[in-house]
Amino acid sequence: MDDSAVMMIKNSSATHVAVTGPMTIARIGEIRDGLLEAFALGQKVQLSLEGVTEVDLTGLQLICSAHRTSIASNLELSISGCQETIAAVAELSGMPRHTGCAQDLEGSCVWKRVA
């Protein structure tokens, strides 16, 4: 079995990035590099978190960073599979909110959807 934390599939309208296994500090660099590569392709990024087995604060911060990158790049980011594990850690970390960050002018903050 492939040990990779990130699988990327590009089609004509979007780049699908699937994260599997732990989304923790031990693997965050590899996941970050995969996301940056996806954004560099210049089209919508679809981030799939269904395969995430564990998440820590660095994983949550990377999700937030991906959102900020999408705003700065003027590229759409969609996130699927934000399962109970991620939502629970986000809640414990104080991530859910009623309004997004200063960059979130369109109201697309990931953590608003978890709240």
Q: Which pLDDT score is estimated for 72?
A: 93
- Beta partners for residue 6, in sequence order: 19
User: Is residue 10 very low, low, confident or very high in pLDDT (cuts 50, 70, 90)?
Assistant: very high
Q: Which pLDDT score is estimated for 4?
A: 66
If one counts every other C-beta atom within 10 angstroms of the C-beta of residue 62, the result is: 19
Q: What is the pLDDT of residues 46-77, one digit of tens each?
A: 999 999 999 999 999 999 999 999 999 999 99
Sheet of strand 44-55: strand arrangement: 6-10, 14-23, 44-55, 77-80
**pLDDT surpassing 70 at residue 3:** no
- Read out DSSP for 48-92? EEEEEEEE-HHHHHHHHHHHHHHHHHT--EEEE---HHHHHHHHH
**pLDDT surpassing 60 at residue 115:** no
**pLDDT surpassing 80 at residue 114:** no
Q: Which pLDDT score is estimated for 106?
A: 83
CA–CA distance, 106 with 92 (Å, rounded to integer): 26
Query: What domains does the chain contain, in order, with CATH numbers?
Result: 6-114 (3.30.750.24)
Element holding 47 (H helix, E strand): strand 44-55
Residue with the bigger pLDDT between 98 and 31: it is: 31
Pair of tokens at residue 71: 């705003």
CA 55 to chain centre: 11
pTM value? 0.87
**pLDDT surpassing 60 at residue 107:** yes
Burial of 59 (0-12, 13-18, 19+ CB in 10 A): buried
